[in-house]
Copies of this chain bind each other. A is one copy, B any other.
Amino acid sequence: MAQVFNFSSGPAMLPADVLQLAQQELCDWQGLGTSVMEISHRGKEFIQVAETAEKDFRDLLNIPSNYKVLFCHGGGRGQFAGVPLNLLGDKTTADYVDAGYWAESAVKEAVKYCSPNVIDAKTIVDGKRAVKPMRDWQLSDNAAYLHYCPNETIDGIAINEMPNFGKDVVVAADFSSSILSSPIDISRFGVIYAGAQKNIGPAGLTLVIVREDLLGKAHKMCPSILDYTVLNDNDSMFNTPPTFAWYLSGLVFKWLKEQGGVAAMDRINQQKAELLYGTIDNSDFYRNDVATANRSRMNVPFQLADSALDKLFLEESFAAGLHALKGHRVVGGMRASIYNAMPLAGVQALTDFMKEFERRHG
């Protein structure tokens, strides 16, 4: 069959080289005669996998030594509870910036634990959806932390500014859909978390980067599996971690290093985004509703001027090997998720298809 490019928003495309290696060694890993998913997480073989993955992840993001990396269960949704349960301490409020679906979902979970101060950062610029600049975010005086989501997977909205609110403001950010896609100045953050299933590996694993001085103040009702201190004290093995997802994420980190690391990804992601948004903007047939400065380079929602053609577009694109382009139900239209694993050739194939589709139906 023709090569398939999978634009799923997550679980998402993985690097072809990584999947092929995982396939080769699935039944006999490192000559052990067993699969990596069959061995103990406490044995020296898996400890090696775990430590190497953490080291490579630290290298890729230049994580300072005063930050801990945790490999957790529970997904981004788990961290919607994990963040307040670990960071509130004796405070009763936190600032939550709302710029899209996931930021809002984090608020819905946070109300179980505190009275969030919701900062509505949505705005309109030149008729397009946008996010207010950070200098206009009205932080409260007594917040334990500030939470925001720098890339909204569903809305296709990105906040590209790096936070700079001074050392007393603990910033917690949901990087699920943009981690490893461009450099991050980790030192600006207290906590960064990311579900693996977009830019890291298979679903079921979550990475948390936490500044060590924030440990030790989990709520007394915090489940151990979400308690950063417990996880850190046990090298993320307080309970059996999702070992296969950890292993496969490690292969992705190795692959990223081979590609030139996050800086190289950043360049390719920029090329991919320019190609796709350029195709949309140079046409009256396609439309994207997000202001240029807030356009996500990872998730590109777009509408056909004539939505009656949506079904045909999806059928024909699928037949052409361009999968999972249907937009999220709350936005409609199309969405192309173009994470690190999506090669430039995939975006080229998509834009070629879009132009040809427009030629035939425009």
Contacts and interface: CB of A to CB of B under 8 A. Distances in A.
B33 A321 contact: yes
Contacts of A77: 224-225, 238-239
A15 to B, nearest CB: 11
A51 B278 CA distance: 41
A223 interface: yes
A285 interface: no
A20 B203 CA distance: 22
Contacts of A197: 240, 243
B27 A74 contact: no
B13 A78 contact: no
A11 B112 CA distance: 34
Contact of A13 (B31, B38, B244, B321): B38
Contact of A19 (B8, B35, B226, B242): B35
A76 B239 contact: yes
A76 B26 CA distance: 25
Interface in A1-41: 1-4, 6, 8-14, 16, 19-20, 22-23, 26-27, 31-35, 37-41
A81 interface: yes
A6 B321 CA distance: 41
Interface string A318-332: 000101100000000
B223 A38 contact: no
Interface string A227-247: 000000000001111111100
Interface string A70-105: 000111111011100100000000000000000000
A244 B243 contact: no
Contacts of A16: 27
A204 interface: yes
Given A13-B34, A26-B19, A26-B22, A81 B224 contact: yes
Contact of A243 (B202, B223, B224): B202
B34 A225 contact: no
A31 B321 CA distance: 12
Contacts of A223: 74, 78, 80-82, 85, 109, 112, 223, 226
11 contacts: A6-B38, A8-B43, A16-B27, A23-B23, A73-B204, A75-B240, A109-B223, A109-B224, A203-B244, A221-B221, A244-B245
Which 7 interchain pairs have the tightest Cβ spacing?
A: A204-B242, A4-B33, A81-B223, A77-B239, A204-B204, A23-B26, A75-B239
